[in-house]
Structure 1
Amino acid sequence: MTDVRAICAIGLRGQLGLHGRMPWEGERGRAFREDVARFFEITRGHVLLAGPRTIASVPEFAKADRTVAVIHSSEAPAEVLARYPGRVVFIGGGPAVWDAYAPFIRHWDVTRLPYDGDADRWFKPEWLTAGGAGA
């Protein structure tokens, strides 16, 4: 069975994105730097699946110690996850990806960052209760 997880950071009010990026991108405060380092540490050795934009933002060094693959909306989540039997798979991305994959996610790792600015994408609490179906 595939162990499907999500890892994300949100702002103080659940902010996820702004104009296709993380709204706090470029922030240099300690909490932001620690969150990025934690993301790479937790996903090391595992599978990271996300949409094209998110995968394009993964630095080259990170591709050496984890399996990184692009997912597309035309692919059935169960079929994609079946490609990684017995692996820990992290689903990255944003609302469109998590809308599709939430029923398969068994664990959400959500970090709240000290950001309280603008956003056009928000975390949906219902994702937390949609999961557990397994792949």
Structure 2
Amino acid sequence: MPDVRSMCAIGLSGQIGLNGHLPWEGNPDPEFREDVANFFRNTRGHVLMAGPTTCRAVPAYERQFMTIFELRSHMDPLETLAKFAGRVVYIGGGPPVWDVYAKYIRHWDITRLPYDGPADRWFNPAWLVDNGQK
């Protein structure tokens, strides 16, 4: 089994998505730019497993520094994770991915950003609970 982790940023009210993007995407303020830079610093050299939207969001200049593996709903989580035994795997999210993979994540790195605007996707605190299925 790999070392399974996740990094995410959430708004002040738990916002994580809006129309398939981060709700604050493109915000030039320093804390938002630093959050993106921190994500790429920490995932370099590792595996990013995510759904198609998140995989497409990784800029071309960062792809060379990580292994990107696109998740699909028909994939068995344990078989999929086993492909990367001994590696650090970051589970990139969105609710459909975290609903399936949260129980395998041993470390969450969560950044609270000063955003309190609209969203259509929210962080679910239940993802943080170890349900004994690891």
Output the CA distance in 1 between the equivalents of 2:87 and 2:21. 28
Give the match for residue 117 of structure 2. 117
Aligned pairs for 1:44-123 within 5 A: 44-123=44-123
Q: Secondary structure at the match of 2:90?
A: strand
How far the C-alpha of 1:93 sits from its partner, in A, is 2.0
The code of the aligned residue for 1:109 comes to D
Give the match for residue 4 of structure 1. 4
Give the match for residue 129 of structure 2. 129
Provide the TM-score with structure 2 as the length reference.
Answer: 0.96
Runs (5+) with no aligned partner, structure 1? none
The code of the aligned residue for 1:97 comes to V
RMSD: 1.1
Provide the TM-score with structure 1 as the length reference.
Answer: 0.95
Cα distance change on mapping 1:37 and 1:132 into 2, 3 Å = farther
Identity among equivalent positions (%) equals 59
Output the CA distance in 1 between the equivalents of 2:131 and 2:47. 18
Aligned pairs for 1:15-54 within 5 A: 15-54=15-54
Output the CA distance in 2 between the equivalents of 1:131 and 1:92. 20
How far the C-alpha of 1:63 sits from its partner, in A, is 1.1
How far the C-alpha of 1:62 sits from its partner, in A, is 1.2
Instruction: Report if the CA contact (8 A) 1:105-1:131 is conserved.
Output: no
